[in-house]
Amino acid sequence: MELLAPAMLGLLGLLVPLVGFYILKVRRQRRRVSSTWLWQQARRDLMARSPFKRLVVQIPLILQALILILLAIAAARPATRGKAVDGDHVAIVVDTSASMSAVDPEAQVARIELAKRAAHAIVDSLAPGSDALILDAGRDTRIALPPDRDTRRMHNAIDKMTAREVEGDLAAAVALAVGRIGQQGGKGRVLVVTDGNLARETKLQSPAVPIEVIQVGAPIDNLGIVRVDVRAGRDPVLDKEQVQAFLSVANFGDAPREVFVTMRQQNASDTLASRKVVVEPKQKLPVVLSFYPAEGDYGTGLIFEISPHDAMAVDDRAFGRVPASYRLPVYFASEGSEASPWLLRALITDENAEVRSGTLSELLARPNVPHDAFVVVEGACPTTAPGADLLVVNPPGGDCFGALVGTKVDKPVITSWETSDVRLRFLTLEGVFLGHARLVEPVSQRQALIRTDQGVIAADISTSARSGTLLAFDVGESNWPLKASFVLFVRNLMEQARRHRSAGFTGPAAAGAPLRVSVPNGVTTVDVLAPGAPEAVSQVARDGLVVIPEVEQAGLYRVSWEEPRGATIWLPVNLASDDESDLSRRLEQGAEAEVTVRPAAEAVAAHRDWGWILALVALAFITFDVWYFTRPTKVRRMPPRRKAKEAAA
């Protein structure tokens, strides 16, 4: 027997004023009477100076004191333990993925709250002497509490859990729990509290430790945004630059849903575009929203929203960024006095490119070269060149971004090229003859792009901060510029640079995964402000790359830096998960004997509360007390003989 709410025993303090009522003198009213002989006791009370009188134990006092005692004990919830969770070592795995944020239609609370209630019940049902390991299972598994026997710390660890806006991975959490329990020896057990909405279909099973899955929440019809893609293009009718957002809206319910899909810019209430759509049950509907950007719109954040909202709010909203202009800035720098006319002609064939040329010294001086420009360098291999994607042509011998440019060979014959690489797709190098070339030793043979009978002459020199391509020969000393494959190769490079520029400093980012941000060379520290965070957090940049590990919330992240040239960028992070948005799925009992699936209502009965019995007894005493005070008083009649004797006397 134990008290679940011992603080309620403080109600016993009401016994003090109750006794006080019975020892306080009653304020009596003055009345004229024929004689005071029958009122001597009342007269003595009026003459006494003390306001209190001697306590006389009466039946109402006893009844009312018992009623207070019973009600205080009943409010303290006396209970006995119900079915205990057996096992020397117990692992409690709580699902904290995005689907746990959905509001249950029956309980009218989020599924994570139902899961925490079930976890609390498990803690209260632990057998004496057993310890518990509590795991927080989101995309990555966290140990909320190492093995411990203190139930207070267990309850505190469970109370701190929240639903994260990430895809869950229960299989990894269960594997960690089984490994930890197996190391401790003795009888172990793993209890998994989840809504059954697993993002990965890996079976939860272990031959070594029995696993029990406790399901919370009822199936819910849900609709959400499961894909987002924002691109820059041109309107062929108006011949204007246009931003197009491609969304995929999925209906996981059993009835059609009519919703509005809207697009607006961050920190703005005006809608850029809106569509009213009807999504059929169990179907996905593509939605395209577009607008014509102004000069100051590039790089700003976009918010997409469906309304009315439903039980799960996180997938009713998605985020994007206005991509850079479709016109690609290109800077062509040459070490010599004259630039190669063949490269320059191939670059200017792209009508959506803004090509500028100059010397290498002018490039290194950074004369307003955009940070996302496509840079072509001929005759040199600078390590600090500005811009983004880089093409190095005919460099001198030595190191070039990790690749070693070696000796010069005459008339090498091209034998193969990487057709699977996007830079060499849709083209052939058959019939291309070279006068001279330098052999290249790339960091890995997988980085070789063009091979000859004497060695590699073209390689991938990409780094963490930029994409790079190396051609170790002078295109003017070959017949390649006379073939269509040369122009196609240059256009492939420019299209790749345009895609990288459109994606910005990072590609599509998923909530829960580390965010890799490319920053200009020379940036050493950036400030990252998460959505809803009170202040920014500093992150260190190395070799033009910043890794932000804690990205567990969907939204727009602001990344800014001061040196060498201050800038601010917005990075969209989305959930966009079919598995997490499908709230109708349920786990079923598997064929494996070691895995048991039960709903939370049939899970562990933590306590058997006996307070209601005491409350009923108190109610019975109250009824008796009311009857005692309101019962009719019987007048006792004197026998006739006794009356006669008293009259004679």
CA-closest candidate to residue 2, choices 74, 79, 109, 117? 79
From the options 3.40.50.720, 1.20.1070.10, 3.40.50.410, 3.40.50.880, give the CATH code of 89-219+585-605.
3.40.50.410
Task: Give me the sheet containing 131-137, strands edge to edge.
Answer: 141-148, 131-137, 89-95, 188-194, 211-215, 595-599
Q: What local confidence, expressed as pLDDT, does residue 68 receive?
A: 84
Give me 481's structure tokens.
Answer: 């510029």
Percent of all residues in the chain with a pLDDT value above 70, rounded to a whole number: 84
- Confidence label for 133 from pLDDT (cuts 50, 70 and 90): very high
CATH architecture of 223-288+301-317: Sandwich (2.60)
In sequence order, the β-bridge partners of residue 265 are 302
Q: Is the pLDDT of residue 89 over 50?
A: yes
The confidence score (pLDDT) of residue 488 equals 93
Residue 527: the pLDDT is 92
- DSSP per residue, 469-527: EEE-S-GGGBSGGGSHHHHHHHHHHHHHHHHHHHHTTS--EETTS-EEEE--TT--EEE
Reply yes or no on whether the pLDDT at 241 is more than 60.
yes
What does the pLDDT read at residue 54? Answer: 64
Cα distance between residue 227 and residue 575, in whole Å = 9
Whether pTM > 0.85 for this model: the answer is no
**Distance of alpha carbon 490 from its chain centroid, rounded?**
42
The arithmetic mean of pLDDT across residues 216-238, rounded, is 88
| Chain centroid to CA 256 | 28
**328-404+417-503 has which fold?**
Rossmann fold (3.40.50)
Contact predicate 382/396, CB 8 Å: no
E strand intervals along 195-312: 211-215, 223-235, 240-251, 257-265, 273-279, 283-291, 301-307
For residue 600, pLDDT beyond 80? no
Question: Would you kindly state where each structural domain of the chain is located, as residue ranges?
Answer: 2-80+611-630, 89-219+585-605, 223-288+301-317, 328-404+417-503, 509-574
Are the CB atoms for 375 and 362 separated by under 8 Å? no
pLDDT tens digit sequence for 47-62: 555 555 666 667 777 8
Are 223-288+301-317 and 509-574 the same fold in CATH?
A: yes
Cβ pair 222, 102 in contact under 8 A: yes
Euclidean distance between CA atoms 519 and 508, whole angstroms? 16
Look at strands 515-518 and 403-410 and give their pairing.
unpaired
Q: pLDDT tens digits for 532-545? A: 888 999 999 887 78
Kindly tell me if the per-residue pLDDT of 233 is higher than 70. yes
The yes-or-no verdict on residue 642 having pLDDT over 80 is no
pLDDT for the residue 489: 94
DSSP strand pairing (211-215 vs 537-540):
unpaired
| pLDDT above 50 for 440 | yes
Lowest-confidence pick of 216-220, 423-427, 614-618, 627-631: 627-631
The per-residue pLDDT for 593 is: 45
- Residue 4 — very low, low, confident or very high, per pLDDT cuts 50/70/90? low
Query: What is the model's pLDDT at position 82?
Result: 54
Our measurement of the distance from residue 571's CA atom to the centroid of its chain's CA atoms, rounded to an integer in Å, reads 16
pLDDT given at position 591: 42
* CATH architecture label of 509-574: Sandwich (2.60)
pLDDT single digits (tens) 276-318? 999 999 999 999 999 999 888 888 899 999 999 988 999 999 9
